[in-house]
Amino acid sequence: MDIANLTAFIAVAETNSFSLAAERLYLTQPAVSKRISSLEQILNIKLFDRIGRIIQLTEAGKALLPYAYQILIEINDASRKLSNLQKEVTGQLTIATSHHIGLHRLPPILRTFTKNYPQVNLDIHFLDSEKAYEEVLQGRVELAIITLATNTLSPLKATTIWIDQLDFVCSQDNPLSQYQQLNLATLSNYPAIFPGVGTFTHDLIEKCFSKAKLKPLVTMSTNYMETIKMLVSIGFAWSVLPRTMLDQTLIKLNVYNISLTRQLGYIYHTERTLSKATLKLIDLLDQYINE
C-alpha cells in the first residue's frame, strides 16, 4: 500500500476537502484525486462519498482511517529509529507551537538550535495549543511547545518551562483605568475581550469568574493574543494578557485578591520514538526551565 496514497487519504478525511488536502500536502487537487482513486482501486472499495461539494467518508473509509494513522506512525517511528543510529543530528523535525510562544519565547531557542544543528530541517506548525495536543497524539508532530492543559494525560507527557503571569489590562482612556483597585464584580459590568472559547487560557479566566459566581460581559473572542492587545489598546474593552506583552499602550488593573498564571512548556508522546533532533531541542528547552 503506497504511503503517499495513505497520506492523501488522511488529509482528505481530516479536511473533508480535496482542495484543502492539496494545500496541506503542497500538491495540486488533481494529484490528490489521483492518489485517492489509486487507493480505492487497490482496495477495490469506495472510500469517499462525493455529493456536490460535500466530501464524506464512507463506512469503509471510516474503518480504514485508524489503520492508516497506525501505518504512518509505525513508518515514522521506524524512520526515526534508523536515523538515531547515525552520529549526526540530521533530518526533518516537525514541531508545533502557538503564535504567542513562537513570537515571544522561541526565537532565541530556535536561533541556538539552528546554529548548533544546521543539518536539521525545522518544520514549524503554528497551531492553537488545544489543536497541538491532538497533533502530537496522532503522531503528526513530534513535539509541541504550547500553553499546557491543567492535566496532561498519558500517553502524552508535559514539561513546564515558563510560568506565564497574566494581568487584567485596559487602555489608558478606558473608564476602568481610573480605579486604584477593583474587583471581579466591577469588571463583569464592562465589555471584555477573551481568548477563544475552549482554549486553555479562556477556561482559566472563565473559571476565575465562575468561582465568584459572576459572568463577564464578553463582547468578542479571538485566539490571537496580539489581536487582543491591539483591540484593548484602542479602548475596545478590557482583557487578560501575559505580562510580557504589556507596554505603554496598556494599563495594568489592580484586581483585588486575584492572581492568574498559566504554564507554558512542551509535550510529546511517550510511546513514540523521538528523533535525535527532538531530544536535542528538548535538552535546549530544559535549560530555560524557571528562567
Strand 251-252 and strand 239-242: the pairing is: unpaired
Mean pLDDT of the chain: 91
The tens digit of pLDDT for each residue in 52-75 reads 778 999 999 999 999 898 888 888
The tens digit of pLDDT for each residue in 84-122 reads 667 678 888 999 999 999 999 999 999 999 999 999 999
Strand 191-194 and strand 239-242: the pairing is: unpaired
The tens digit of pLDDT for each residue in 237-246 reads 999 999 999 9
The Cα 215–Cα 208 span in angstroms is: 10
Per-residue pLDDT band at 162 (split at 50, 70, 90) = very high
Q: Tell me if residue 81 falls in helix, strand or coil.
A: helix
Sequence letter at residue 269:
H
Sequence letter at residue 208:
C
Res 77: pLDDT? 78
At 218, give phi and psi (nearest 5°). -85, 115
Domains in the chain, start-ordered, CATH in brackets? Answer: 3-75 (1.10.10.10), 83-162+264-286 (3.40.190.10), 166-260 (3.40.190.10)
Q: What is the pTM for the complete model shown?
A: 0.76
